[in-house]
Structure 1
Amino acid sequence: MTLLALGINHRTATVEVREQVAFTPAQLESALTELRGLPEVREAALLSTCNRTELYCVTDTAGEREILDWLGRFHGLAIEDLTRCAYHYLENDAARHLMRVAVGLDSMVLGEPQILGQLKEAYQSARRAHGLGGELECLFQHTFAVAKQVRTRTGIGRNPVSVAYAAVSLASRIFDDFSRSRALLIGAGETIELVARHLHEAGVRQLTVANRTRERAEQLAGTLGGAAITLDEIPEALVRADIVISSTAAPLPLLGKGMVERALRQRRHRPVFMVDIAVPRDIEPEVGELGDVFLYTVDDLEAVIEENRRHRQVAADQAESLIEHGVGGWQHERRLRSGGALIREVRARGEALRDLSRDQALARLARGEDPEEVVRRLAHQLTNRLLHRPTVALRDAASDEQHELLDAAAALLLDEPSDPSP
């Protein structure tokens, strides 16, 4: 049996190719059934995200070409196009790759945590489709344990490495309790949507989204229980806002020094945290001169992000070490499972030969044969049956000068020699 990991990801394939190779949730069950049905595949799991599609299989032989052919057929893609961007790993390298994926070391954003949840969903889908046997079941369980250890013992997921997360992280340095903070988000694009979700996860419940069109603001605010306003209503909203984060495509600043000064007077100079992610800027630089405003720009966030990337790289090095230890642990468990299966087979064969000899002896006794002769014959037959195969194998090994096999047989089959007399 061979463990195989095969796939494409953001490093090897363009987004156009990744889109074509991705599996929708509706396709997963049928895809796993087809994959599991290939003659050489014994177990199978399938991971499909926006950045990667990977197949984890236990095969009779390596079989990467056959599985790649199947992937191309399933999606109607030329095998040559897939071959140019596909990679595969075998055995220990496959286990190592899965563990690196699980902890975010192979992700576009180093250490991102979402991939572990996606991998757990892939594992559950494979279980439901009866794609998992002993090998992949144990590998996934061991991988999840390693991922937990990496998250617990390193800081790989602790420091933000996105603009949206960094903005929220900076806000947390100003406000101890987000649950009492009011946030005003200006814009409704992807970055503001991420900021909104991070703020909501951090505990902010009073959230207002301002946008040029109220409809788009309502779409975003509604998913998080917030309020929607137009850009014209920003001056009134500023009075209530403790956190202001802006990211629009406006050609000129939306928040000037005078507007913010008026809002501060009505707030009785309670501090305001502001982040201007837009380029060109949405907030006049002079706003940062006001005493009760903490204003950060996208450049400030990039500095935070770069510092956090360095912290994550240190953590990534620690994670690599833990993964190597995890691969070693998986290898050990695999050897134990392999030895256990062999032991069960050997015992089953011995018990079958025992039962055969016993039944024959009982039949002779039932026919009235001499009990003493029956016992002698039983012992003779059982010994011959148990030792026949090992004897033939030892003769062949001796003839072929397979000394390692002979030494192993001696260690397994012979009693330890007693210590020589002094």
Structure 2
Amino acid sequence: MTLLALGINHRTATVEVREQVAFTPTQLDAALVELRALPAVKEAALLSTCNRTELYCVTESQGEYEILDWLGRFHGLAVEDLSHCAYHYLENDAARHLMRVAVGLDSMVLGEPQILGQLKEAYQASRRAKGLGRELECLFQHTFAVAKQVRTETGIGRNPVSVAYAAVSLASRIFDDFGRAKALLIGAGETIELVARHLHEAGVRQLTVANRTRERAEILAGPLAGRAVTLDEIPDALVDADIVISSTAAPLPILGKGMVERALKKRRHRPIFMVDIAVPRDIEPEVGQLSDIFLYTVDDLQEVIEENRRHRQVAADQAESLIEHGVGAWLHDRRIRGGGELIRDYRAGAEELRAQSEQQALERLARGEDPEEVIRRLAHQLTNRLLHRPTVALRDAASAERHDILEAAASVLLDAPTDKTR
């Protein structure tokens, strides 16, 4: 059996291609059933995210073309269109790839933690579809153990490298009592959602979200016990804001110098920390000229991002070492399991031969044959049957000059030193 990992990701394919090969949650169960039904596939798991679609299979042969052809047929794509952007790994390399994916070393953002949760969901889906056998079950368990070790023993997840986190990180350096600061977030897209989450995790409890539609602002602010306002209400909200972080798609600035000056006057010139992470900018550059305003743009955040990225790279190097140990442990376990399967198969064959010989002996006794002769014949027959296949195998090994097999057989079967002369 061969372990195979086959996939397409953000490094090998455009977003248009990735969208076409992605599996929706409603497609997943049917896809696993179809994949598992392929003649060459014995076990299967399927990971599908916005940045990757990967198939992990145990196959009788390498089988990558058959699986890639199925992937194309499932999504109505020509296999030729997929082959130039698909990659595959076998055996150790496949196990190593899965472990690197699990700890975020193969992600667009180095060390991002979401992929591990997505991988666990893929594992559970495969279990429900009965796609997991002994090989993939053990591989996933080793992978999860390695991912936990990497998260525990390295700092790969401790230094986020997103713009949202960098903005919050800068804000936390400004305020002595960060938890008492009041934040005004302008926009309700993914970046502002991340900002809100980071602020909440950092202890900020007074959040106001301003958006063009109040409904969208409420969706974001509600779970964090925040307040939702419209863009027209920003002048009033600005008066109470210690932190302002803005990220909208507006073509023109939302905060002008005059609006901010009026808010500062009502605040009695208590300072405001502002981060404009929109492109084009939401806050007029002239706002930064005001003496009580600390205004940063997305370019100013790059220093924080690069610093965190350097920390993550050190942790990534440590993670690679832990992964190598994890691959070694998986291989060791796999060899032991392989030996156990061989022993079980050999003992089952021996038991079948014993049962046959026993039945024949009982039939002879029932016919009245001499018991001593029956026992002698039984012993002779059983010995010959048990030794036949090993004897043939040893003769074939000798003919092929497989001295490694002969020496191993001699050390185990004869329990005697082997002759090293050739």
TM-score, L = length of structure 1: 0.90
User: SS at 1:72's partner residue?
Assistant: helix
Structure 2 regions of 5+ residues with no counterpart? none
1:230-269 aligned within 5 A: 230-248=230-248, 249=250, 251-252=252-253, 254=255, 256=257, 258-265=261-268, 269=270
Q: Is the 8 A contact 1:179 1:205 kept in 2?
A: yes
Whole-Å separation in 1 of the counterparts to 2:49 and 2:19: 9
Work out the number of aligned pairs and report it: 414
Per the TM alignment, residue 315 of structure 1 is displaced from its structure 2 partner at its CA by 0.9
Match of 1:18 in 2: 18
Matches within 5 A, 1:183-332: 183-222=183-222, 224-248=224-248, 249=250, 251-252=252-253, 254=255, 256=257, 258-265=261-268, 269=270, 272-278=272-278, 279-280=280-281, 282=283, 290=291, 295-332=295-332
User: Residues 26-77 of structure 1, C-alpha deviation per residue, up to 9 Å, x if partnerless?
Assistant: 0001101000000000000111111111111000000111111111100000
Q: Counterparts of 2:133 and 2:289 in 1: how far apart (Å)? A: 61
Separation in 2, partners of 1:68, 1:184: 49
Correspondence for 1:393: 393
Q: Give CA deviations for 1:162-194 in whole Å, capped at 9, x if unaligned.
A: 111212233344567766543211223332232
Query: Is the contact made by 1:247 and 1:282 (CA closer than 8 Å) also made in structure 2?
Result: no
- Give the direction of change, closer, same or farther, for the CA distance of 1:285–1:143 in structure 2 (3 Å limit): farther
Offset at residue 346 of structure 1 (A): 1.1
In the alignment, structure 1 segments of 5+ residues that lack a partner are none
Range with bigger deviation, 312-321 or 390-399: 390-399
Distance in 2, matches of 1:113 and 1:324, equals 20
Tell me, yes or no, if the aligned pair for 1:171 and 1:243 is still in contact at 8 Å: yes
Deviation at residue 287 of structure 1 after TM alignment: 5.0
- Mapped partners of 2:188, 2:383: distance in 1: 82
- Whichever residue aligns with residue 226 of structure 1, its letter is G
**Would the alpha carbon gap of residues 353 and 286 (structure 1) be closer, same or farther in structure 2, given more than 3 Å must change?**
same
For the residues of structure 1 that align with 2:252 and 2:40, how far apart are their CA atoms? 60
CA contact (8 A) 1:183 1:241 kept: yes
Shift of 1:203: 4.5
Task: State how far apart, in whole Å, the 1-side matches of 2:60 and 2:16 are.
Answer: 33
Aligned: 1:361 with 2:361: yes
Q: Distance in 2 between matches of 1:360 and 1:213?
A: 87
Shift of 1:264: 3.0
**Aligned residues with identical type, % of pairs:** 79
Question: 2:410·2:416 contact (CA, 8 Å) conserved in 1?
Answer: no
8 Å CA contact retained: 2:287, 2:295: no
How does 1:146-157 map onto structure 2 within 5 Å? 146-157=146-157
Q: Secondary structure at the match of 2:84?
A: helix
Report the RMSD for the aligned CA atoms in angstroms: 2.4
The answer to whether structure 1 residue 87 and structure 2 residue 87 are counterparts is yes
The alpha carbon displacement at 1:215 in A equals: 4.6
Aligned amino acid, residue 299 of structure 2 = D
Is the CA contact 1:155–1:315 (under 8 Å) kept in the aligned structure 2?
A: yes
1:371-419, CA deviations, whole angstroms, 9 ceiling, x for partnerless residues? 333332222122111111122222233333332322222123212359x
Shift in alpha-carbon separation, 1:54–1:2, aligned structure 2, 3 A: same
Q: Which residue of 1 aligns with 2:408?
A: 408
Q: Secondary structure at the match of 2:268?
A: helix
Secondary structure in 2 matching 1:50: coil
Specify the code of the residue in structure 1 equivalent to 2:407.
Answer: D
Distance (Å, rounded) in 1 between the aligned partners of 2:160 and 2:300: 13
**Alpha-carbon distance, 1:219 to partner:** 4.3
The one-letter code of the counterpart of 2:187 is G
Cα distance between partner residues in 1 of 2:233 and 2:401: 91
TM-score by length of structure 2 reads 0.90
CA distance 1:381–1:404, change in 2 (3 Å): same
